[in-house]
Amino acid sequence: MTYDGVKVFSATRAEMRETLGEKVTEWSTAHPELEVVDVQVCQSSDRAYHCLSIAVFYSEATPS
């Protein structure tokens, strides 16, 4: 996989986890010049916290 950058979204509180996908969509819509090449979703937790992370790998558009 080749990429130019990665944008990470994460949340621990339930109400933030519920809207995390919408945050990714807003970011992607705001950056049409970037091409998403991969997405990794990770969940981790302990007794008190549950964390959801979404890493979006992207490449920058090549000028034509």
Distance of CA 17 to the CA centre of its chain: 12
What digits encode the pLDDT tens for the residues 5-50?
999 999 998 899 999 999 999 999 999 999 999 999 999 988 878 8
Write down the pTM of the prediction.
0.85
- Residues 61 and 31: their CA atoms lie apart, in Å, by 11
Grouping H, G, I as helix, E, B as strand and the rest as coil, residue 46 is: coil
- Residues 59 and 37: their CA atoms lie apart, in Å, by 7
Domains of the chain are: 5-60 (3.30.1070)
- The pLDDT of residue 51 is above 60: yes
CB 6 within 8 A of CB 55: yes
